[in-house]
């Protein structure tokens, strides 16, 4: 029964996908929109196939994925650390908060060229841009998550002799975990945006570079091929985050349910 439910969802998924492609194709076939803007799903698929068949994509993909993953990891860790630190130190929080909020609000993507100036045109400047995007999403959630810790559980841990680091490890972090993961899902997207925009603003390789090149040649199919490729890998990264999340949060109380009860 459980199984057939899942099968039905899968079928629906496939159906939606087919409808989506058909709709896309129809858009240009019946001239609803110019193919200059929406391209053709089959040409896009062909382009993707070609990229992989010739192997030319691997270099670009490798660069982009490297930037994304590094920005994601560093940005998350940094967001976690700073979030914990500021949530636990009211003075630091008061001192830093206007700067952090200001920096958060700063349209960092515009700074991409400046990052290129500071960090060069290689992967570093893209990673830096990605970090600034990932950092804030994670930071705000960690900050709030820590402040939501149950006061009683906290008091209990303190009475049981927890030192500051032990409190951190045993209470604050586990309690904030669901907050962290919620932010990580958004952060996956941000990391990709950072890497690709960075490449887009100036680079020698990467999927963003390919997209920009295709755009320069008015090749919308190339643009979509790049976007779809990125999306696919973003889904993979998101799935990895999901697996880790399920593992770390398996303790969470859900509505109680008996075994074998009719749904």
Q: Min. distance of Cβ 128 from another protein in angstroms?
A: 13
Enumerate residues 196-255 that contact another protein by CB under 8 A.
199-204, 209, 212-220, 222, 251-253
Torsion of CA 156, 157, 159, 164, to 10 degrees: -140
**Nearest residue (CB) to a second copy, 122 versus 189:** 189
Within 8 A by CB and 6+ apart from 21, the residues are: 41
Within 8 A by CB and 6+ apart from 82, the residues are: 100, 135, 139, 142
Cβ pair 236, 105 in contact under 8 A:
no
**Nearest residue (CB) to a second copy, 33 versus 53:** 33
As a whole number of Å, the end-to-end CA separation of the chain is 9
Q: How far is CA 18 from CA 7, 21, 44, 205, 252, in A?
A: 17, 5, 15, 33, 36
**Nearest residue (CB) to another protein, 137 versus 208:** 208
Q: Which two tokens stand for residue 24?
A: 């896309």
Residues making contact with a second copy (CB under 8 A): 9, 12-13, 16, 37, 91, 94-95, 98-99, 101-111, 113-114, 117-118, 136-137, 140-141, 143-145, 148, 151, 154-155, 178-179, 181-183, 185-186, 188-189, 192-193, 196-197, 200, 208, 211, 215, 220, 223, 227, 230-235, 237-238, 252-256
Cβ pair 174, 245 in contact under 8 A:
no
Considering CB distances under 5 to 8 angstroms, the limit depending on partner class, which of another protein, a second copy, none binds residue 95?
a second copy
Interacting residues with another protein (CB under 8 A): 34-37, 47, 112-114, 116-118, 120-122, 125, 151-153, 155-163, 166, 170-171, 174-175, 177, 199-204, 209, 212-220, 222, 251-253, 256-263
């Amino acid at each position: 029964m459980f199984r057939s439910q899942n099968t039905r969802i899968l079928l629906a998924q496939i159906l939606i996908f087919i409808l989506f492609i058909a709709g896309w194709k129809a858009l240009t076939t019946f001239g609803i929109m110019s193919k200059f803007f929406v391209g053709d799903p089959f040409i896009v698929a062909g382009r993707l196939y070609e990229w992989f068949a010739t192997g030319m994509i691997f270099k670009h993909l490798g660069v982009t994925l490297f930037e994304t993953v590094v920005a994601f990891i560093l940005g998350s860790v940094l967001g976690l650390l700073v979030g914990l630190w500021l949530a636990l130190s009211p003075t630091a929080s008061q001192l830093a908060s206007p700067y952090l909020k200001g920096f958060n609000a700063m349209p960092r993507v515009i700074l991409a060229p400046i990052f290129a100036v500071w960090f060069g045109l290689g992967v570093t400047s893209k990673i830096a841009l990605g970090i600034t995007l990932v950092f804030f999403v994670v930071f705000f959630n960690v900050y709030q998550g820590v402040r939501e810790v149950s006061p009683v559980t906290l008091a209990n841990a303190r009475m049981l002799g927890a030192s500051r680091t032990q409190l951190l490890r045993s209470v604050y972090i586990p309690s904030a975990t669901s907050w962290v993961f919620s932010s990580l899902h958004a952060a996956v997207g941000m990391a990709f945006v950072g890497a690709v925009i960075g490449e887009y603003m100036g680079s020698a390789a990467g999927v963003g570079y390919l997209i920009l090149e295709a755009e320069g040649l008015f090749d919308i199919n190339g643009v979509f091929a790049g976007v779809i490729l990125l999306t696919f890998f973003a889904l993979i990264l998101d799935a990895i985050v999901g697996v880790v999340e399920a593992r770390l949060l398996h303790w969470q109380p859900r509505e109680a349910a008996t075994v074998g009860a009719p749904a």
